[in-house]
Structure 1
Amino acid sequence: MSSGRRETTLRFLAEPGDVNFGGKVHGGAVMKWIDLAAYACSAAWSGKYCITAYAGGIRFVEPIHVGNLVEVSAKVIYTGRSSMHIAIDVQASDPKELKNRLTTHCIVIMVAVDENGKPTEVPEWVPQTEDDIKLRESAIKLMNMRKQIGEEMEAHVKYLK
């Protein structure tokens, strides 16, 4: 059953095992955290098991350092029949100072599935504020752009075969 909760934030410390060869947190570790937050958010909204269908527009703005307190915030910004568009912001700070700075942001699309792995309906999210309306409109614009990009990418897939 859906909790109706639209936002989720995961918090943890960046560990030495998360570091790349340059001494900063590895982009792959950040992408894993993004996926975890998107799952937690979409499962809470839908009340169902959800799978990742798309992760895009990932922008690594600033590095995350070992020992930083990391916050991965996820928010539903659009719902389709079985899909949920989740906006993700990753922020980090020195835990002694707690001055958050944006490090990464993106959009993740999650799909609710039933026990057979088939897409299943999710509750509709209806924007209530002007900011929410803008987020929903932005999600729709991005969805249309992804369709165009997908069509363009087909040429590359055919070429590589």
Structure 2
Amino acid sequence: MNSTFKKPEDSEIILTELMLPSHSNFSGKIHGGFILSLMDKAAFASASKFSGQYCVTASVNRVDFLNSIEVGELVTMRAKVNYVGHSSMVVGIRVESQNIRTGVVKHCNSSYFSMVAKDETGKTVQVPGLVLSNLNDMRRFLRSIKHIKMRNERKLEFSRQAFEPEKYKHALKDYNVRIDIEGYK
């Protein structure tokens, strides 16, 4: 068990950047890939600040783009560690945009990045424990545990070795698919 503990606030990163025309896609909105790149930087900074080590991205949870971001808006990302394992951390990131002229703020997306702390040789290293000092911290930590558990169960259920297609045949009847697998009825 780890004897060093830190609060989520010890990992907090706030990154703000002006959205330029060079960041836009063909429809004139800010390109989602550019936002994902900024989110990855925020996750790296938050996890590295918390762990005192360089960190790598292990996975990104679902990202739903809720509101588009316009050229000329300020984008602010707030990131902090929500969960820690032995060498892994889940960093929650909230993305908001602000119209400079009107002051209107929009929630654009939220996501969770799983980060792993590494030493100079590339080996995983233990990260500090997490102090849960309020109900929001506890809720975020428990949500991460549930997400990790569900991801592991889904990975096993749909692995080549464990997949049982008979279980899902009828589940596909309401979808726009046709099963045309030789030898499968």
Structure 1 position 152, deviation (Å): 4.3
Matching of residues 27-42 of structure 1 within 5 Å: 27-42=32-47
User: What is the identity, as a one-letter code, of the residue corresponding to 2:144?
Assistant: A
**Partner of 2:12 in structure 1?**
7
In structure 2, which of residues 93, 100, 103 is the aligned counterpart of residue 98 of structure 1?
A: 103
Q: Aligned residues, how many?
A: 155
Give the CA RMSD over aligned residues: 1.8
Q: C-alpha separation between the residues in 1 aligned to 2:154 and 2:96?
A: 29
**Partner of 1:20 in structure 2?**
25
Matching of residues 1-161 of structure 1 within 5 Å: 5-155=10-160
User: What is the identity, as a one-letter code, of the residue corresponding to 1:17?
Assistant: S
Q: Secondary structure at the match of 2:154?
A: helix
Structure 1 position 153, deviation (Å): 4.9
Q: C-alpha separation between the residues in 2 aligned to 1:20 and 1:12?
A: 17
Q: C-alpha separation between the residues in 2 aligned to 1:3 and 1:132?
A: 12
Change (3 A) 1:138 1:3: closer
Conservation of the 8 A alpha-carbon contact between 1:3 and 1:46: no
Q: TM-score of the superposition, structure 2-length normalised?
A: 0.79
Change (3 A) 1:73 1:31: same
Write out per-residue CA displacement over residues 80-102 of structure 1, whole angstroms, 9 at most, x where no aligned residue. 01011001110001122333210
Higher strand share: 1
Q: C-alpha separation between the residues in 1 aligned to 2:70 and 2:159?
A: 38
User: What is the identity, as a one-letter code, of the residue corresponding to 1:45?
Assistant: F
Q: C-alpha separation between the residues in 2 aligned to 1:88 and 1:132?
A: 14
Structure 1 position 6, deviation (Å): 2.2
User: What is the identity, as a one-letter code, of the residue corresponding to 1:101?
Assistant: K
Higher mean C-alpha displacement, 38-47 vs 95-104: 95-104
Structure 1 position 15, deviation (Å): 1.1
**Partner of 1:158 in structure 2?**
none
Q: Secondary structure at the match of 1:63?
A: coil
User: What is the identity, as a one-letter code, of the residue corresponding to 1:33?
Assistant: L
Q: C-alpha separation between the residues in 2 aligned to 1:107 and 1:152?
A: 23
Rg: which structure is higher?
A: 2
**Partner of 1:159 in structure 2?**
none
Task: Show structure 1 runs of 5+ residues with no match.
Answer: 156-161
Task: Show structure 2 runs of 5+ residues with no match.
Answer: 161-185
Structure 1's consecutive aligned runs of 4 or more residues displaced over 6 angstroms after TM superposition are none
Q: C-alpha separation between the residues in 2 aligned to 1:14 and 1:132?
A: 31
Change (3 A) 1:154 1:16: farther
Q: Secondary structure at the match of 1:58?
A: coil
